[in-house]
Structure 1
Amino acid sequence: MDQLILFSKFPFVQTSEITLRKIEKSDLDELYSIYSNENLFKYRPGEVKRNKSTVENMISHFERDFGKKKTIFLGICLNEDLKRIIGIAEIFDFDTKVNMATIGYTLNEDYWGHGFATKTVEALRDYLLNTIGINRVQAFVMPNNIKSKNVLERNKFTKEGTIRQGAVWKGNGVIDLDLYSFLKSDL
């Protein structure tokens, strides 16, 4: 894992259809529409945000967490409008000894069912494996989140098993999680 490249500046990952880029203050309205949607928090950690000022503070926390080399939050954009985010991609839980990272993704509900989550996971996976030199990319999914499991399976991730009552997700309590992974050797 080349942390010098990974944390030298916010990643800018562009494919033929989507771009993953730094989240800016100007993204507040789109970010708020994501974080204030109760449907999105059925299957992700955290709680619905009730006011824009909370979400605005999160943007500066994204910058802080990047500076601490802790988590990378990226806006997901369609290439025809890079100023408007349709979702959030996350890279976190870096382990340099194992050479791995965990990914997460959340799309604005208006963009569900169009393949953008699948394209986001593909972009994250390829960026981490090919540009950063990660060996293992993993993702955790609640067992009843069928759509997200399908996204990972379309990207050739392997289900390793279920971690039973092994995590606490704020807003969801103690939960089961399915663990999926993709290794560089799987390419």
Structure 2
Amino acid sequence: MGLEFPIIETERLILREVTIEDAEGMLDYFSDQDVVKHIGLAPFQSVADVYDEINWYKSIREEGSGIRWGITLREEEQVIGSCGFLNMKPKHHRAEVGFELSKDCWGKGIASEALEAVVKYGFLHYELERIEALVEPTNLPSQKLLERQKFQKEGLLRHYEYTCGKFDDLYMYSILKGDLNEI
């Protein structure tokens, strides 16, 4: 994945590597039930839980199976969410995209701006042809966000994941490189 962590800049955001110094701020949103309820995690209880998350970000990058950017507002250092790829399959030119955002930032177009930038980056720099997103049927805001970004709902994957003591149905969404005219 290259040695230097890529920084993505948009009109309002800087997407950058998350570090241990970001853990306290990240605990604010990872401990919020409303933020984590659709991403298969129990609310975090301590900074140690955030360290585990940050270590996962590092491990997927090192093994080449993903990359996760911390989302920050241009004028602020604090990480307010993350967006990135996991389950990258270079042989098949595909990856899954995921994201979460602090509740304080919902409804302001931040997740949309971050997702758009990450998707374009994936098509341009990782030679992806297909980007997938898995979303719980009850997560209507994320479904609407994906649809606004030209992702297409492909179908329901029944009992696809087992998280937090239950089986989750997930909708499969995808976008192909050719779906974006400007790439």
The two structures have a TM-score, normalised by structure 1, of 0.90
State the distance in 2 between where 1:152 and 1:58 align: 24
- Partner of 2:176 in structure 1? 183
Matched, 1:116 2:110: yes
The two structures have a TM-score, normalised by structure 2, of 0.91
1:174 to 149, 164, 167: 167
CA deviation profile, 1:122-162 (whole Å, cap 9, x unmatched): 01111001222211111000011110001101101111111
Of structures 1 and 2, the one scoring higher in RCO (CA 8 A, sep 6+) is 1
- Partner of 1:106 in structure 2? 100
CA deviation profile, 1:28-52 (whole Å, cap 9, x unmatched): 1211112111111221112211111
Deviation (angstroms), 1:56: 2.6
Deviation (angstroms), 1:172: 5.5
In structure 2, the residue corresponding to 1:97 is in which secondary structure? helix
2:32 to 37, 53, 62: 37
Is residue 14–residue 74 contact of structure 2 (8 Å, CA) maintained in 1?
yes
Runs of 4+ in 1 over 6 A off after TM superposition: none
State how many pairs are aligned: 180
State the distance in 1 between where 2:133 and 2:165 align: 18
Counterparts of 1:135-150 in structure 2, within 5 Å, are: 135-150=129-144
- Partner of 1:77 in structure 2? 72
Range with greater deviation from structure 2 (61-70 or 28-37):
61-70
Question: Any gaps of 5 or more consecutive residues in structure 1?
Answer: 1-5
Deviation (angstroms), 1:121: 1.1
Matched, 1:157 2:136: no
Is residue 60–residue 86 contact of structure 2 (8 Å, CA) maintained in 1?
no
State the distance in 2 between where 1:43 and 1:61 align: 19
Change (3 A) 1:44 1:9: same
Is residue 125–residue 137 contact of structure 1 (8 Å, CA) maintained in 2?
yes
- Partner of 2:45 in structure 1? 50
Counterparts of 1:124-143 in structure 2, within 5 Å, are: 124-143=118-137
Is residue 7–residue 67 contact of structure 1 (8 Å, CA) maintained in 2?
no
Question: Any gaps of 5 or more consecutive residues in structure 2?
Answer: none
Change (3 A) 1:166 1:64: closer
Deviation (angstroms), 1:110: 0.5
Deviation (angstroms), 1:106: 0.3
